[in-house]
């Protein structure tokens, strides 16, 4: 399968922003959507694509303001990214899809599975919160993030953003992302609406993840009848990279299970 390269895709005008997406894999196979985390881009999933054991048509989307997608003038919210995803899928005439979402991408995926009529066959989330309650340590971590602090700590993601984004303004993006992380309104986390999730759900968490608590994922697994919880030892927030071999074994088993 061809990996994402930020050369083979297209832009779609949505609500004042130009949203970038790419499609790879077998167009006659089931659709698989991948949604990246904050300050990331669709290439973050290339390590997963090479290890998939089942044929898929894979859709990658750069979230609004990130990768090759512009920010536009509307507020950056999980609800807005959800709308962007729905519009891209509609544009591609895809009405049935499986989803892998990492961090922010998983939160958007929870919203898609909880609050829309999209036919989701299977859902995988990695390091993704579904609420803000009882998350004071996370709130403190989020509120300290600035463009400068992120540049200093994660220079590779900053360099990728500067290289890819057609309208780069990293400080504005950082402000927008932090506001989204701390959004407690209906445009933010799905909260109790996750009880509406009816598709098979694989919840993945790194055991050392400071942003996704063990208690929260256990509670979520209790809400969703057809759910599987994978708490990976010796892994942090990027569990799919920290323990790739373990993750891929379970991911492939989950995606291939009838």
- Digit-coded pLDDT (tens) for 192-237: 999 999 999 999 999 999 999 999 999 999 999 999 999 999 999 9
Domain ranges of the chain: 10-256
- Digit-coded pLDDT (tens) for 77-94: 999 999 999 999 999 999
> Which CATH class name applies to 10-256?
alpha beta
Q: What is the pLDDT along the chain (258 residues), one digit of tens a residue?
A: 899 999 999 999 999 999 999 999 999 999 999 999 999 999 999 999 999 999 999 999 999 999 999 999 999 999 999 999 999 999 999 999 999 999 999 999 999 999 999 999 999 999 999 998 866 677 888 989 999 999 999 999 999 999 999 999 999 999 999 999 999 999 999 999 999 999 999 999 999 999 999 999 999 999 999 999 999 999 999 999 999 999 999 999 999 987
Q: How is residue 71 written in tokens?
A: 């920010």
Q: How far is CA 19 from CA 115, 122, 171, 215, 226, in A?
A: 22, 24, 20, 35, 32
- The neighbour count for residue 83, using CB atoms within 10 Å, is 18
| Distance separating alpha carbons of residues 113 and 104, to the nearest angstrom | 14
HEC letters along the chain: CCCCCCCCCEEEEECCEEEEEEEEECCCCCEEEEECCCCCCHHHHHHHHCCCCCCCEEEEECCCCCCCCCCCCCCCCHHHHHHHHHHHHHHCCCCEEEEEEECHHHHHHHHHHHHCCCEEEEEEEECCCCCCCCCHHHHHHHHCCCHHHHHHHCHHHHHHHHHHCCCCCHHHHHHHHHHHHCCCCCCCCCHHHHHHCCCCEEEEEECCCCCCCHHHHHHHHHHCCCEEEEEECCCCCCHHHHCHHHHHHHHHHHHHCC
> Residues, the chain, total?
258
- The neighbour count for residue 107, using CB atoms within 10 Å, is 28
Average model confidence (pLDDT) across the chain: 96
| Distance separating alpha carbons of residues 48 and 252, to the nearest angstrom | 10
What's the pLDDT at 135? 65
């Amino acid at each position: 399968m061809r990996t994402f390269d930020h050369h083979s895709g297209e832009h779609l005008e949505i609500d004042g922003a130009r949203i970038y997406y790419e499609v790879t894999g077998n167009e006659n196979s089931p659709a698989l959507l991948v949604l990246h985390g904050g300050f990331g881009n669709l290439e973050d999933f290339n390590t997963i694509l090479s290890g998939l054991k089942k044929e898929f048509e894979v859709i990658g989307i750069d979230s609004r303001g990130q990768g090759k997608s512009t920010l536009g003038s509307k507020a950056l919210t999980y609800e807005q990214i959800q709308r962007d995803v729905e519009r891209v899928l509609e544009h591609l005439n895809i009405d049935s899809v499986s989803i892998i979402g990492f961090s922010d991408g998983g939160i958007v995926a929870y919203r898609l599975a909880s609050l829309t009529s999209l036919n989701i066959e299977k859902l995988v989330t990695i390091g993704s919160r579904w609420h803000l309650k009882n998350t004071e340590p996370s709130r403190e971590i989020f509120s300290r993030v600035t463009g400068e602090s992120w540049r200093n700590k994660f220079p590779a993601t900053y360099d990728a953003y500067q290289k890819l984004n057609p309208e780069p303004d990293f400080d504005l993006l950082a402000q927008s992302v932090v506001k989204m992380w701390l959004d407690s309104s209906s445009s933010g986390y799905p909260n109790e609406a996750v009880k509406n999730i009816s598709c098979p759900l694989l919840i993945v968490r790194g055991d050392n993840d400071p942003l996704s608590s063990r208690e929260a994922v256990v509670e979520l697994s209790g809400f969703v009848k057809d759910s599987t919880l994978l708490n990976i030892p010796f892994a942090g927030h990027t569990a799919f990279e920290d323990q790739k071999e373990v993750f891929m074994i379970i991911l492939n088993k989950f995606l291939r299970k009838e």
